[in-house]
Structure 1
Amino acid sequence: MSKAFDFASDLEESIRAAAIAQRTVYTGISAKECECGEEIPEGRRLAIPGVKLCVGCADRVALVKGGVRRG
């Protein structure tokens, strides 16, 4: 039984490591305005250094990267 737990733990650790490696890392100066023209709130600019997209656009990009298409 402990082999199954060890396997599950190793699998979880490798999935987590892959997700961390694929995350977007922002650096630099944050934009005050998104590409869509929407203002990026100061709180978001401070929380995510180098952010270039508003929440709505960032969500759309994440969905597209995840394979979701708008219909």
Structure 2
Amino acid sequence: MAGGWYKDGAVQEQIDADVADAVAQLKQRQTSGPSLSHCEECDAPIPKARQEAIKGVRLCVACQEEHDKTMNNRAGFNRRGSKDSQLR
């Protein structure tokens, strides 16, 4: 069903593009290499289970949570805002 300013399938294309962007961001942030035994931020010991579960881990859980909070705050800008307004 075509309507107004957007073509058929435009909503699905936007969803697919958003998912692809999120996957690309996660791949960029993925760590590799040997895990550290102590956090590089606060020097707290990193549990062995965390080192084995996450390859290349560099932060303890507390520091990782803080890091994730700051990363989520940066993602507030919707660069597809103009598209969103056309789809309504």
Question: Residue 46 of structure 2 aligns with which residue?
Answer: 40
Say which one has the larger Rg: 2
TM-score under structure 1 length normalisation:
0.76
Q: Which has the higher contact order (CA 8 A, sep 6+)?
A: 2
Identical columns (%)? 32
Corresponding position of 1:18? 21
TM-score, normalised to structure 2's length? 0.63
Partner of 2:12, secondary structure, is helix
Superposition RMSD on alpha carbons, in Å? Answer: 1.9
Select 1:28's aligned residue among 25, 33, 57: 33
- How many residue pairs match? The answer is 66
